[in-house]
Amino acid sequence: MCCQWPLILYFDGACPLCAREVAFLRRRSTAAKLILIDIDGDDFDPRLLGLTIEQLRSCLHARFANDQWVTGLDATLWSWRAAGVGLWAAPLSWRPLRPLLSFVYRLFCLLRLGLAWLPHPEGGQRCKSEESKCRIR
């Protein structure tokens, strides 16, 4: 896979586990390799990407500077490589493990919205409902 840095990673900042991973990546990356965009931010408009917020929340999305998109496990693998910790994510690229890891990743994507009760790394919980959006920090 050919890539052109930086990688733009679109993540759901309302997800406590996602926010923890992004905080880890943020500490180890540079803007020359990895740009982090919170799709939960008030100023984010998914229509500019030609996607819906539901599509972006269904799995991790990332785009290289040459407009090549990667999603799911590949977005995770390349974001960790961009942050210089690709060795830890190397098993994500091992062909024999890919079917199992893909299944586990899809399961996580289905269950992660139910994890909003977990403490958020920003000091509290974020919650959303159809009627309101609340953030405790």
Q: What is the pLDDT of residue 125?
A: 46
Q: Are strands 7-11 and 69-71 parallel, antiparallel or unpaired?
A: unpaired
**What torsion, rounded to 10 degrees, do the Cα atoms 69, 1, 85, 55 define?**
20
Q: What is the pLDDT of residue 120?
A: 77
- Torsion 48-31-121-20 (CA) sign: positive
On whether the CB atoms of residues 72 and 104 are closer than 8 A, the answer is no
Token reading at 7: 């990688």
Q: What is the pLDDT of residue 3?
A: 81
Q: What is the pLDDT of residue 50?
A: 97
The per-residue pLDDT for range 63-93, each reduced to its tens digit, is 999 999 999 999 999 999 999 998 999 999 9
The per-residue pLDDT for range 12-57, each reduced to its tens digit, is 998 888 999 999 999 999 999 999 999 999 999 999 999 999 999 9
Helix count (H) and strand count (E) of the chain? 5, 6
Q: What is the pLDDT of residue 131?
A: 42
The per-residue pLDDT for range 88-129, each reduced to its tens digit, is 999 999 999 999 999 999 999 998 878 777 777 776 545 554
Distances (CA, A) of 104 to 2, 35, 82, 112, 116: 26, 26, 23, 12, 19
